[in-house]
C-alpha cells in the first residue's frame, strides 16, 4: 500500500514514511492510494473474529508487507488490551464505550497502536524522533501514556492554557522521562497551527526528525476504524439500518468510521455531532467551508475551528458534497443543550454520559425526531469517561461521579509544564534549543 498527500495525488510514499513523517512535505495529509475492501465472507462471519483479530485483519490491508505478520500480531496484542463494548440504552439505542483504555478516552486506541508501530520503525533511524502533538484535552494524555518511556522518541504536547479540564491537565502534565508538556497561551487551533508550521519549516526539518501523533497522522486513524468494525459485530444479530452519532471536532474519529464503511461495513449513516464549533455542520448546510477561531465549551475535545481531517473527508467523497450529504448529516448543540443531554440520558436511562457523548445523544435524538424512521440501530459514540468532566456532569445530574483509580492517581502529582506564547518563532526557538 502506498500513500499520497491530499495536496498532491501523484507523489507516493510508503506506509513507514507516512507514519514517521506524519505530514507530507507539501503540508497535506497522507491518504492510502485505495481504500481496501473486506471480502464478503469476512463481513458475513464477523462474529467468529475477536476484537484483536479484527484489528489484525484491518491493519494488514493498510500496511501490506512493511510489517511482518508476527510483528503485527505483537503490536495488536500490546495495543488492544482493553475492550470497546456496546451498551444498550434501549432495544435500538446503544452507546459505544471507548473509555476503557489507560487514559479513559477513545484516543487510547490510536495512541497505543501508533506508539507500538513507531517503536518498530524508529529502530532503523540514526537519530531521535521528535513527536509533536496538539491537544484539546484527551489526545495529549493518550499519546503521552502510549509513548511513555519509549526509547528513541521524545514527545512534545502542546495544549491551550486554561482550556482543558483540570483532570485532563493533570494527565497531560504529570509525566517525565521523554514527555514534555507545553502550555500554549492560545486556543487548540493555535497549537495545531504551530505543529503544522513546524513540519513545513526548512530549518526544523533539517535539524530535527519530526513526526506527529495527532489524527493528521494516518497511523492514528487506522486503529480507530477497528472499533467501528467491532461495533458492527456486536450489532450484527439485527438487520436494521445502522446509524452512528459521532462527537466531532477535528473530524478524525468520524473519518475512521467512514473508512470502515468504505471497506464494506454495513453502516448506513454517520451523524457528525458538533458543539458551538460547528464549521463542518455549516459546511454541509451551505457548501462553504469557513474556518474560524474556536470557542471554549464543556465538550472541549471538540473545540476546533479548522478541522484538519476535513481534507480527508473531501478525498473520500471526491470533493462531491452531494455524495457526502447522502452518508453524513451534521447537527450542532451549545453548552446549554449539552447539559440537557446529560440530564436526559441519566433520567431516562440511568446512564451517566460525558459532555461529548451528550452532544452525540442530542444530535441522534434530533435526527430521529426529524426523520421518524423505524428499524434503526443507533449508536452514540461515547469518547471519554464522565469522570474526566466531573464538575460539569455532577452539576447536571446532582450525583457524585466516581473517579476510576487510574485517573485518581494522577491528581496528587505535581504539574510540570512549560508556558509559551502562540508565536511560531517562540516555538521554533524552543525546539531548536531542546
Distance from C-alpha of 367 to C-alpha of 350, rounded to nearest angstrom: 22
Q: Which helix (H) or strand (E) holds 114?
A: helix 107-122
74 Cβ partners below 8 Å, 6+ apart? Answer: 116
Q: Give CA separation, 86 vs 298, 344, 377, in Å.
A: 24, 20, 12
In this structure, the number of other CB atoms found within 10 A of the CB of residue 309 comes to 27
Cell, residue 434: 531542546
Could you tell me which residues come within 8 angstroms of residue 126 by beta carbon, excluding any fewer than 6 positions away?
A: none
Residues in Cβ contact with 107 at an 8 Å cutoff, skipping those fewer than 6 apart = 138, 139, 141, 142, 143
256: part of which helix (H) or strand (E)? Answer: helix 252-262
Residues 6+ apart with CB under 8 A from 47: 233, 236
The SS3 call for residue 238 is coil
Burial 364-392 (b: 16+ CB within 10 A, else e): bbbbbeeeeeeebbbbbbbbbbbbbbbeb
Choosing from 107, 154, 170, 233, which is the catalytic residue?
Answer: 107
Is 177 one of the catalytic residues?
Answer: no
Grid cell 491493519 in the structure block, residue: 59
Measuring CA to CA, which residue among 253, 219, 231 is closest to residue 97?
Answer: 231
Q: Which residues are catalytic?
A: 107
Amino acid at each position: 500500500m502506498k500513500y499520497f498527500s491530499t495536496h498532491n495525488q501523484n507523489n507516493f510514499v510508503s506506509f513507514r514514511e507516512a507514519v514517521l513523517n506524519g505530514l507530507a512535505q507539501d503540508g497535506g495529509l497522507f491518504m492510502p492510494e485505495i481504500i481496501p475492501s473486506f471480502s464478503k465472507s469476512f463481513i458475513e462471519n464477523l462474529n467468529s473474529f475477536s476484537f484483536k483479530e479484527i484489528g489484525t485483519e484491518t491493519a494488514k490491508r493498510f500496511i501490506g508487507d512493511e510489517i511482518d505478520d508476527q510483528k503485527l500480531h505483537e503490536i495488536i496484542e500490546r495495543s488492544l488490551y482493553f475492550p470497546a463494548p456496546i451498551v444498550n440504552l434501549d432495544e435500538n439505542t446503544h452507546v459505544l464505550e471507548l473509555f476503557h483504555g489507560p487514559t479513559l478516552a477513545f484516543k487510547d486506541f490510536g495512541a497505543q497502536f501508533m506508539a507500538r508501530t513507531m517503536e518498530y520503525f524508529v529502530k532503523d533511524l540514526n537519530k531521535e524522533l521528535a513527536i509533536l502533538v496538539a491537544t484539546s484535552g484527551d489526545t495529549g494524555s493518550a499519546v503521552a501514556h502510549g509513548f511513555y518511556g519509549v526509547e528513541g522518541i521524545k514527545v512534545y504536547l502542546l495544549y491551550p492554557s486554561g482550556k482543558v479540564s483540570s483532570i485532563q491537565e493533570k494527565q497531560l502534565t504529570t509525566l517525565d522521562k521523554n514527555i514534555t508538556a507545553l502550555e500554549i497561551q492560545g486556543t487548540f487551533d493555535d497549537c495545531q497551527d504551530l505543529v503544522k508550521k513546524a513540519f513545513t519549516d526548512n530549518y526544523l526539518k533539517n535539524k530535527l526528525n519530526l513526526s506527529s501523533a495527532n489524527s493528521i497522522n494516518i497511523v492514528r486513524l487506522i486503529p480507530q476504524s477497528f472499533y467501528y468494525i467491532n461495533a458492527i459485530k456486536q450489532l450484527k444479530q439485527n438487520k436494521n439500518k445502522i446509524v452512528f452519532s459521532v462527537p466531532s471536532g477535528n473530524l478524525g474519529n468520524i473519518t475512521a468510521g467512514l473508512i470502515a464503511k468504505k471497506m464494506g461495513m454495513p453502516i448506513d449513516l454517520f451523524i457528525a455531532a458538533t458543539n458551538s464549533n460547528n464549521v463542518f455542520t455549516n459546511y454541509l448546510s451551505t457548501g462553504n467551508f469557513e474556518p474560524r477561531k474556536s470557542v471554549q465549551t464543556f465538550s472541549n475535545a471538540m473545540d476546533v475551528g479548522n478541522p484538519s481531517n476535513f481534507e480527508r473527508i473531501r478525498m473520500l467523497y471526491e470533493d462531491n458534497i452531494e455524495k457526502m450529504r447522502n452518508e453524513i448529516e451534521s447537527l450542532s448543540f451549545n453548552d446549554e443543550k449539552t447539559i440537557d443531554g446529560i440530564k436526559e440520558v441519566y433520567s431516562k436511562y440511568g446512564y451517566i454520559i460525558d459532555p461529548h457523548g451528550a452532544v452525540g445523544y442530542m444530535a441522534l435524538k434530533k435526527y430521529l425526531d426529524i426523520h421518524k424512521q423505524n428499524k434503526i440501530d443507533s449508536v452514540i459514540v461515547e469518547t471519554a469517561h464522565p469522570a474526566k468532566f466531573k464538575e460539569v456532569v455532577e452539576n447536571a445530574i446532582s450525583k457524585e461521579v466516581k473517579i476510576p483509580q487510574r485517573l485518581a492517581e494522577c491528581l496528587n502529582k505535581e504539574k510540570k509544564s512549560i508556558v509559551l506564547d502562540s508565536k511560531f518563532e517562540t516555538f521554533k526557538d524552543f525546539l531548536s534549543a531542546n
